[in-house]
């Protein structure tokens, strides 16, 4: 596939390969099936949530070259539902079949230092002041340079607040780095934000771009708790900045951009996700094209469709044992429950979500 405007839509019945078998892969598979496509999941976990809905499942490690090549030969386009797949594995498949979003986006989002450097220097979008941190000495120095309270994060593999510590003194910065282990880190100035918001946007193979209205996100213990759309107020700036990033990455697919909103109404990008995103799950019940269908449309050459929700709506995550507390929901027509088919409700694990129509 190329970015040619006149290019035909990927024919119905084609096979979409997806790296990763979590809940995002599961919901992408459902959306793909609705549009007449089959999905083929690549995930080492035999019982992953996505395998319950996918047409095929390759159970193999992400560095298994033979399995990667066989997978790439069987599918018509490849995408991914999480950003921690080794880029080399994606490059292996890209030699045989198109990969969307582009590998550059994956490479950028995998590493917080690359990500912040790209967003600020290449896309020209502001981020929190940051410093690379390789060792404990660097951590102390970064604390001083950043001028006070900071957050030290591992450059790679962090999610749901894992792999990060807050430091309010040089000693805490040093100890914090020690606790994260011998891995490359980044220190960011601690931002006393007004609120956290996100923008979910997409670019199609034709270059068409669109975004949903601004989303307001409430976190608990560094994990997303609730998302509300539309956010109670919106000056339009965050959506502009998100589209700037989409263009700078020459992107195809759904992109999520997380922002800190400051007192004066300006924005700093916290991080980007080159995929569908937890803060966009409300789209499933808002009466517009949902983010999973949007991603499938974008990578298969469809027009992106209507992203205007018919209702104000909020999404609440069901973490761990929350999954067992939904009995009352059966009676309320404005509530929809989405479970991920995970067998073990470990504390903090994302087990499902509830969407509630507000108006
Ligand atoms: N520099 C910062 N200043 C203030 N709060 C932060 C900062 N970085 C992260 N946080 C808080 O921690 C949450 C998780 O951090 P984030 O960088 O988004 O990592 P993750 O990959 O775990 O989502 C953010 O949503 C925010 O609430
Ligand atoms: Mg985050």
Residue 336 has pLDDT above 80, yes or no: yes
pLDDT value for 162 = 87
Ligand 1 geometric centre to CA of 63 (Å): 30
Domain count, the chain: 3
Counting residues of the chain whose pLDDT is more than 90, the rounded percentage is 90
**2 pLDDT band (50/70/90 cuts)?**
very low
Q: Give the chain's mean pLDDT.
A: 94
Placement of tokens 């937890």 in the chain: 278
Q: Both 33 and 147 in a single domain? A: no
pLDDT value for 3 = 43
Q: Whole-angstrom Cα distance, residue 340 to residue 317?
A: 11
pLDDT value for 235 = 96
Q: By residue range, what is the domain housing residue 93?
A: 15-99
pLDDT value for 332 = 85
The protein residue with its alpha carbon nearest to ligand 1, atom 12, reads: 222
Ligand 1 geometric centre to CA of 151 (Å): 8
Q: pLDDT (tens digit, 9 = 90+) per residue, 268-302?
A: 999 999 999 999 999 999 999 999 999 999 999 99
Q: Both 242 and 291 in a single domain? A: yes
Ligand 1 geometric centre to CA of 161 (Å): 7
Placement of tokens 């912040």 in the chain: 116
Q: Both 218 and 338 in a single domain? A: yes
Q: Is residue 263 part of a domain?
A: yes
Q: Whole-angstrom Cα distance, residue 22 to residue 28?
A: 10
The protein residue with its alpha carbon nearest to ligand 1, atom 8, reads: 151
Q: Whole-angstrom Cα distance, residue 85 to residue 68?
A: 12
Ligand 2 geometric centre to CA of 186 (Å): 15
* CATH number (domain holding residue 148): 3.30.1490.20
Q: Both 299 and 159 in a single domain? A: no
Q: Both 63 and 145 in a single domain? A: no
Shortest-distance ligand to the CA of residue 116: 1
Q: pLDDT (tens digit, 9 = 90+) per residue, 9-18?
A: 899 999 999 9
* CATH number (domain holding residue 65): 3.40.50.20
pLDDT value for 7 = 52
- Which atom belonging to ligand 1 lies closest to the Cα atom of 219? 27
Q: What is the mean pLDDT of residues 93-97?
A: 96
Q: What is the mean pLDDT of residues 182-209?
A: 97
Q: Both 210 and 345 in a single domain? A: yes
Ligand 2 geometric centre to CA of 274 (Å): 12
38-42: strand order across its sheet: 56-58, 38-42, 15-19, 77-80
Q: Is residue 310 part of a domain?
A: yes
Ligand 2 geometric centre to CA of 73 (Å): 34
- Worst-scoring range by mean pLDDT, 66-70, 157-161, 324-328, 338-342? 324-328
Let me know: does 150 contact 143? Beta carbons within 8 Å.
Answer: yes
Three-state SS annotation for the chain: CCCCCCCCCCCCCCEEEEECCCHHHHHHHHHHHHCCCEEEEECCCCCCHHHHCCCEEECCCCCCHHHHHHHHHHCCEEEECCCCCCHHHHHHHHCCCCECCCHHHHHHHHCHHHHHHHHHHHCCCCECCEEEECCHHHHHHHHHHHCCCEEEEECCCCCCCCCEEEECCHHHHHHHHHHHCCCCEEEEECCCCCEEEEEEEEECCCCCEEECCCEEEEEECCEEEEEEECCCCCCCHHHHHHHHHHHHCCCCEEEEEEEEECCCCCEEEEEEECCCCHHHHHHHHCCCCCHHHHHHHHHHCCCCCCCCCCCCEEEEEEEHHHHHCCHHHHHCCCEEEEECCCCCCCCCCEEEEEEEECC
The protein residue with its alpha carbon nearest to ligand 1, atom 24, reads: 222
Q: Is residue 321 part of a domain?
A: yes
Q: Both 140 and 236 in a single domain? A: no
Q: Both 154 and 257 in a single domain? A: no
Q: Both 227 and 311 in a single domain? A: yes
Ligand 2 geometric centre to CA of 199 (Å): 12
- Worst-scoring range by mean pLDDT, 116-120, 162-166, 184-188? 162-166
pLDDT value for 4 = 47
pLDDT value for 331 = 78
- Which atom belonging to ligand 1 lies closest to the Cα atom of 112? 17
Let me know: does 177 contact 140? Beta carbons within 8 Å.
Answer: no
Q: Both 261 and 321 in a single domain? A: yes
pLDDT value for 8 = 56
Q: Which residue from 111, 161, 191 has its CB within 8 A of the most atoms of ligand 1, so it is best to mutate?
A: 161
| 126 phi and psi angles, rounded to 5 deg | -70, 145
The structure's pTM equals 0.95
Residue 225 has pLDDT above 70, yes or no: yes
Q: pLDDT (tens digit, 9 = 90+) per residue, 48-68?
A: 999 999 999 999 999 999 999
Residue ranges around ligand 1 (CB below 6 Å): 128, 151, 158-161, 188, 190-191, 196, 219, 222, 258, 270-271
The protein residue with its alpha carbon nearest to ligand 1, atom 27, reads: 222
Residue 169 has pLDDT above 70, yes or no: yes
Shortest-distance ligand to the CA of residue 279: 2
């Amino acid at each position: 596939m190329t970015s040619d405007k006149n290019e035909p839509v990927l024919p119905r019945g084609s096979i979409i390969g997806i790296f990763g078998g979590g809940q995002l892969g599961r919901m992408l598979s459902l959306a793909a099936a609705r549009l007449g496509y089959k999905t083929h999941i690549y995930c080492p976990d035999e019982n992953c949530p996505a395998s319950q809905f996918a047409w095929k499942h390759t159970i193999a490690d992400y560095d298994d070259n033979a399995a990667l090549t066989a997978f790439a030969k069987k599918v018509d386009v490849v995408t991914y539902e999480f950003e921690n797949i080794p880029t080399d594995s994606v490059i292996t498949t890209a030699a045989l079949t198109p990969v969307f979003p582009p590998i550059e986006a994956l490479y950028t989002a995998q590493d917080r230092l690359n990500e912040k450097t790209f967003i600020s220097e290449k896309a020209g979008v502001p981020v929190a002041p940051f410093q690379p941190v390789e060792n404990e000495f660097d951590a102390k120095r970064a604390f001083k340079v950043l001028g006070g309270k900071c957050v030290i994060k591992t450059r790679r593999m962090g999610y749901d607040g894992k792999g990060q510590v807050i430091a309010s003194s040089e000693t805490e910065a040093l100890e914090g780095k020690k606790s994260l282990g011998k891995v490359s880190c980044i220190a960011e100035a601690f931002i006393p934000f007004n609120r956290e918001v996100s923008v979910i946007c997409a670019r199609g193979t034709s270059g068409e771009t669109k975004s949903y209205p601004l989303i307001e996100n409430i976190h608990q213990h560094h994990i997303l708790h609730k998302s509300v759309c539309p956010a109670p107020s919106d000056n339009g700036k965050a959506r502009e900045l998100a589209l700037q990033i989409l263009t700078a990455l020459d992107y195809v697919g759904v992109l999520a951009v997380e922002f800190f909103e400051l007192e004066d109404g300006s924005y700093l990008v916290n991080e980007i996700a080159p995929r569908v995103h937890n803060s966009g799950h409300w789209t499933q019940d808002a009466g517009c094209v949902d983010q999973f269908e949007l991603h499938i449309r974008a990578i298969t050459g469809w027009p992106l469709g209507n992203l205007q929700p018919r209702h104000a709506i909020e999404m609440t995550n069901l973490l761990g044992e929350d999954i067992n507390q939904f009995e009352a929901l059966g009676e309320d027509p404005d509530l929809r429950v989405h479970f991920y088919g995970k067998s073990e409700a470990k504390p903090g694990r994302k087990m499902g979500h509830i969407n509630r129509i507000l108006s």
